Structure 1
Amino acid sequence: MLEKTYDAKTVEPKIAKIWEEADAFRAGAGAEEGAEAFTIVIPPPNVTGSLHMGHALNNTLQDILVRFERMRGKNVLWQPGMDHAGIATQMVVERQLMEKQIHRRDLTRDEFIEKVWEWKAESGGAILNQLKRLGASADWSRERFTMDEGLSQAVLEVFVTLYKEGLIYKDKRLVNWDPKLLTAISDLEVEQQEVNGNLWHFRYPVEGAVFDPENPKTFITVATTRPETMLGDTAVAGHPDDERFRHLVGKN
């Protein structure tokens, strides 16, 4: 008897089991020999917890595309996988250890890495099950992790190729620095906060004049929100038509 309301928890696992037993989403399944290929590599979610609504939306859109192309007879591969997200994952593991009053420095390098791999297995397994629970039609036999053997070599090869083609380069740039983990972190891992700044006023004495805070002819005032740049100041420029500074032109 058909139930009055649709119960996803009852219906969908049965369908998912049928799909899995039929190997329905394996690359090339149902496609004729020589069929045009269509591939999507899933943007690998980080093993830092579980999936959120953004992942659900993103994967639903990918699923629509790959199912549509399968129906058109193409040789479809939707490649699943997960990313290690080194720094973010390390922070998760460190927080877990701190709950047990354990600092990562209390462990050897190998012991800490073992804890990270334990978390990867726990979080990665949860993410994999979530994707399957969504009904994602990926080729699960090909599921990969960014730290798997061979993938690092592939990444190195791509970086070297891009470098030789002049598409990436090394340069000195301002970076976000984590004073706790003692490492650079990306903009995505920074929580931006707006704070009220200050406008600092410097009085630069004029050479040859006795500095008098009441006499503006003995100094020039410069305002800045970046007082630390004062140490690098070498010159002051003023508008030539500004009568207030005419007496300072040519002076040091």
Structure 2
Amino acid sequence: MSTVRFAGRFKGKVLVVTGAAQGIGRAVALRAAKEGGKVVFVDRADFLAEVAAEARGDETAAFHADLETYEGAEAAMRFAAETFGGIDILINNVGGAIRMRPYAQFEPQQIDAEIRRSLMPTLYGCHAVLPHLFARGGGTIVNVSSNATRGIHRVPYSAAKGGVNAITQSLAMELAERNIRVVATAPGGTEAPSRRVPRNAAGDTPEETAWMADVVRQVTQSGFMKRYGSIDEQAAPILFLASEEASFITGTVLPVAGGDLG
């Protein structure tokens, strides 16, 4: 599939992209840099600088942070503002289901871990960036949610992403008068290269592998197009919403899932 590029679409803009070391976040950050943006790649992966270097420019920077903590989010935003003189766009991409299992099989600490992974980085990131957007006189926040708000074997993750949708809609209403747009995409199943950092560091049990196969079947069958999307098919709408082309869109959660609204 050919990918349309918009040269200069982010010229003069400072973007912070979280979860930028791999997957959708990596694609978004690299493409934003190609389109003229000054991009801060934020992640806790030890190979982050290697990814940021792929942009081949002096207007990108890498910052290691644990965004499951408020301190990490605040430090990342401060670094971006100090490095490039401010922040115009935040793309909150950190998140992802750790385990796939029926809800009755989740242990309490596993529930907590899913919420920390997929809700708190967005909640913290939105709060930590606001002083910088206020100083700029406006800006845009794009949250990466999921259509898994309706799906099997990941109820805690679904709850977290439902929270991301609520943040998006409520914060958009609150901040419109400050010239700040808050929007989100809700990706469906996405084909991606093998993760260099696994979603579940402990590894999947045979049962979890079987439950994951159930999820793949459900995701594929729930969409009209009966397939997974590509990384480019997810990056493109995120960057559209981040750009001035979407200047009259706020409070919207855009499903990007082949017809499955979640």
Shorter-chain TM range is: under 0.3
Structure with more contact order per residue of length (Cα contacts < 8 Å, sep ≥ 6): 2
Q: TM-score, normalised by structure 2?
A: 0.23
Q: TM-score, normalised by structure 1?
A: 0.24
